[in-house]
Amino acid sequence: MKRTIKRIAPLQTGKMLGVLYACLGLIFLPIFMLAAAAGAFAQHAQGTEASSTAPAAAVAGIMFGMGILMPVIYGVMGFILGVIGAAVYNLVARWIGGIELEVE
């Protein structure tokens, strides 16, 4: 038996994709934390001169901050793109029909 998806609820799709993308953003958290730790380690390895350590400290701080913000940014973008994607699907499905699924 064939069924057709005629409409997708944009708000629900946005919520689902927002949570899924936030979880994907958590995958990048350890990578950014390691980069921040490597930047802090590079700062100590360069010596005591203040002018040469400032860029390494800035990079380490930025990487740490991005690591913390990555799940939030991914979640917000997932929500926005989910709502837009569902709305576009609904518009196109009105013109040409929806996606057909075969179910038992």
What's the rounded mean pLDDT across residues 55-82?
84
pLDDT surpasses 70 at 52: no
pLDDT (0 to 100) of residue 46: 59
Q: State residue 89's pLDDT score.
A: 97
Convert the pLDDT of each residue in 72-84 to its tens digit.
999 999 999 999 9
Q: Which of 10-19, 27-36, 95-104 has the lowest mean pLDDT?
A: 27-36
DSSP string, 25-85: HHHHHHHHHHHHHHHHHHHHHT-S-HHHHHHHHHHHHHHHHHHHHHHHHHHHHHHHHHHHH
